[in-house]
Amino acid sequence: MKIVACNSNLPLAEAVATELRVPLCNVTVRRFADMEVFVEIHENVRGEDVFVIQSTCSPTNDNLMELLIMLDALRRASARRITAVMPYFGYARQDRKSGSRTPISAKLVANILVEAGANRILTMDLHAMQIQGFFDIPVDNLYAAPLFTRDIMARHAERPVMIVSPDVGGVVRARQLAQRLNTDLAIIDKRRERAGVSEVMNVIGDVRGRYCVLVDDIVDSGGSLCNAAQAVIDQGAEAVEAYVTHGVLTGQAVQRVGDSPLKMLTLTDSIAATPAVIGARNIRQISTANLLSRAMRAVADESSVSSLFD
């Protein structure tokens, strides 16, 4: 197998390569003066099983173009199979027509990835499970729940926690984690007036005196998460922290989290930490390198990926 890293998350790609004991493929990914992407592969990949690691996070369009051009270069270099390893799948939130004359951008991105040369997709905690059906190639969707379960059990071994879903749409995800931890579940009932703005309406479940853990797949502006944290505190929770797979954290999100009641926000490294995240007092990251490397090895060996979550 060959591992190729684009520029969006080099630390994660290097950690995965270390886990697999496979050196990163010698490639060049750079920009022309007008910012066009240029890719060059400096070693033979003919007949190889190639994995391209690239999160399509901010700058989303630049990172997506890097991935597409790398896929095209590998296809033209006669790689046997090309797997796009996308720890964070950008455009996943545009998975349906949300109004008249609006796009389904997740489907468009799926089409482009396949056309560029991807034979398989490996991603983590897709925002909407139906996106797997947008592809006519195999899609392996990994889950951060096992990582979160181990981390919560290690950090709160002597304290029973209560899992909280920050909205109704995330109940399935939160319930799965609550079942793994054999603990209770609460739900935040909220109304979203427009994109990026939410109003917490009610807390379904008794959180009084409980140590609450909010669970979500994406934190972007941080408004919904911080409002949910404040809601459970207002309902008498002892304390609250959060576990979120993808830390998009745009605008003033890091400051908003810092000013919130959240004791800690735990993210995965699916998106590389910015200096603001690294310097935040109540934000930390846990590594997905072992999970991704095991899944990549399973794909290369034609063994079960789903067994990783049993």
Query: pLDDT, tens digit, for every residue of 193-242?
Result: 665 555 667 899 999 999 999 999 999 999 889 999 999 999 999 999 99
pLDDT recorded at residue 153: 95
The rounded distance, in Å, linking the Cα atoms of 260 and 219 is 14
- The mean pLDDT value for 276-293 works out to 96
What's the whole-number mean pLDDT along residues 149-175? 93
Residue type, 198: S
Decide: helix, strand or coil at residue 59.
Answer: coil
* Pair 61, 80: CB distance under 8 Å: no
For the chain, the structural domain boundaries read 2-142+290-309, 145-286
Q: How far apart are CA 271 and CA 126, in angstroms?
A: 14
Place of tokens 């404040």: 230
Across 127-131, 166-170, 230-234, 241-245, the highest mean pLDDT is recorded for 241-245
Instruction: Say what the pTM is.
Output: 0.93
Closest CA to 6 of 46, 57, 63, 83: 63
Query: For this structure, is 190 an active site residue?
Result: yes
According to the model, what pLDDT value does residue 37 have? 96
Helix (H), strand (E) counts: the chain? 9, 14
> Residues forming the annotated binding site for ATP?
34-36, 93-94
Closest CA to 163 of 172, 175, 153: 175
**How many percent of the chain have pLDDT more than 90?**
89
40 forms beta bridges with 28
Class level of CATH domain 145-286? alpha beta
Distance, in Å, from the CA atom of 8 to the CA atom of 100, rounded to the nearest integer, reads 33
Q: Are 72 and 116 in contact (CB under 8 A)?
A: yes
Residues at the binding site for D-ribose 5-phosphate are 192, 216, 220-224
| Class of the CATH domain delimited by 2-142+290-309 | alpha beta
Residue 308 pLDDT > 90, yes or no? no
Q: Other CB atoms closer than 10 Å to residue 30's CB: what's the count?
A: 11
Indicate the annotated binding residues for Mg(2+). 127, 167
Q: Which of 87, 153, 147, 80 lies closest to 119 in space, CA to CA?
A: 80
Beta bridge partners of 162: 212
Active-site residue identified among 97, 107, 190, 263: 190
